[in-house]
């Protein structure tokens, strides 16, 4: 962060005015991101959907290669699912995926005070403005809060487009990632794997008997079953996992960083917790290994799920992953 010039002159950090006449919202957001970069020293800034899957809506990132439509890539630093209702700046100084060393997140709130998006910044190196120990300076907190409010105003202007971009990546019933988002996520994770060769696994979950429930109890009961399944999968997965609904009764989880042992434990936990909440389901999993890419890993997990469905009741925890 270029602190020395302000310390010498005593001037306050620059502020973007939401009422300034920019040609479009993208230009105004770009100006805001530039101010935040100067203010904090964090190189990369984005706005992430505040509900459902943490999809990147707007981004200015010269370092990590983030694009609109990507999923927030550093859940090990900040699990966005846990902070949508907070007013605090969230800081983590431990190294995360793709080399991010520090991240800050603020809730962006709509006119009724509900979190509608998240303002996220990241850097490959720790920055003086966000020390590993102790709180940020009060002035920094105040200016960050101001810019979160500016962005709320800009998103209100662009509200329909922002919601459409987020909704295009979400399943409307469960608010999980949809098939389109899942394919994007696999593509990005595969590129990361080829660079770092870290362990990754895929789990596939099929809800058993959904068609029968729809036929005998109605589609509302079937929807309730799917929402219960989605809730169990979210609560039972790790903070670094991404859960998606791929089709009517089919879900999948991308478990980045999971060893084969962790993947097996996760699959067994999911199966038991689904059964414990009266959600009948078959679960399969597979690890990316050898020459198998993530598309092939997904297919292997799907085959493992089908084997589980065929051998239902014979116990599967002791069987090694595919």
Q: Per residue in 254-274, pLDDT tens?
A: 998 889 999 999 999 999 999
Confidence at residue 143, expressed as pLDDT on a 0 to 100 scale: 78
Domain stop point among 120, 138, 167: 167
Q: What percent of the chain has pLDDT over 70?
A: 73
Determine, yes or no, domain membership for 322. no
- The more confident residue out of 179 and 138 is 179
Higher pLDDT, 280 or 10: 280
Task: Give the tens place of pLDDT for each residue, 53-84.
Answer: 777 888 999 988 888 878 777 766 666 666 65
Q: What's the pLDDT score for residue 166? A: 61
pLDDT at residue 230 tops 80: yes
Strand stretches in 85-220, DSSP E: 90-92, 102-109, 115-123, 200-207
For the ranges 87-96, 235-244, 292-301, the lowest mean pLDDT is seen at 87-96
- Where are the strands (E) in 80-167, listed by range? 90-92, 102-109, 115-123
Q: What Rg value do the Cα atoms of the chain yield, rounded?
A: 22
The whole domain housing 119 covers 3-167
Given 112, 147, 167, the domain boundary residue is 167
Count of domains forming the chain? 2
């Amino acid at each position: 962060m270029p602190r020395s010039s302000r310390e010498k002159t005593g001037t306050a950090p620059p502020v973007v005015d939401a009422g300034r006449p920019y040609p479009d919202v993208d230009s105004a957001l770009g100006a805001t991101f530039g101010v935040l970069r100067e203010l904090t020293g964090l190189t990369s800034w984005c706005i992430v959907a505040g509900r459902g899957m943490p999809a990147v809506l707007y981004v200015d990132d010269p370092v990590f290669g983030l694009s609109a439509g990507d999923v927030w890539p550093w859940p090990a630093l900040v699990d966005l699912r846990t902070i949508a209702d907070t007013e605090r700046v969230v800081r983590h100084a431990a190294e995360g995926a793709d080399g991010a060393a520090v991240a800050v997140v603020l809730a962006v709130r709509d006119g009724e005070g509900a979190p509608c998006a998240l303002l996220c910044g990241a850097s490959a190196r720790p920055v003086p403005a966000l020390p590993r120990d102790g709180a940020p300076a009060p002035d920094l907190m105040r200016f960050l809060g101001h810019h979160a409010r500016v962005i709320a105003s800009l998103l209100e202007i662009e509200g329909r487009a922002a919601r459409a971009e987020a909704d295009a990546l979400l399943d409307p019933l469960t608010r999980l990632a949809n098939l389109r988002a899942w394919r994007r996520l696999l593509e990005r994770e595969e590129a990361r794997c080829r660079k770092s060769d870290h362990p990754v696994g895929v789990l596939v979950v099929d809800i058993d008997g959904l068609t029968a429930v729809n036929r005998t109890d109605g589609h509302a009961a079937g929807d309730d079953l799917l929402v219960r399944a989605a809730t169990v999968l979210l609560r039972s997965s790790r903070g670094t996992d991404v859960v998606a609904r791929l089709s009517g009764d089919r879900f999948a989880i991308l478990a980045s960083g999971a060893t084969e042992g962790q993947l097996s434990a996760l699959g067994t936990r999911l199966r038991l917790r689904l059964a414990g909440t009266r959600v009948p389901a078959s679960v399969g999993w597979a690890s990316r290994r050898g020459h198998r890419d993530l598309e092939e890993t997904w297919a292997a997990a799907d085959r493992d799920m089908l084997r589980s469905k065929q051998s239902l009741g014979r116990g599967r925890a002791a069987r090694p992953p595919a």
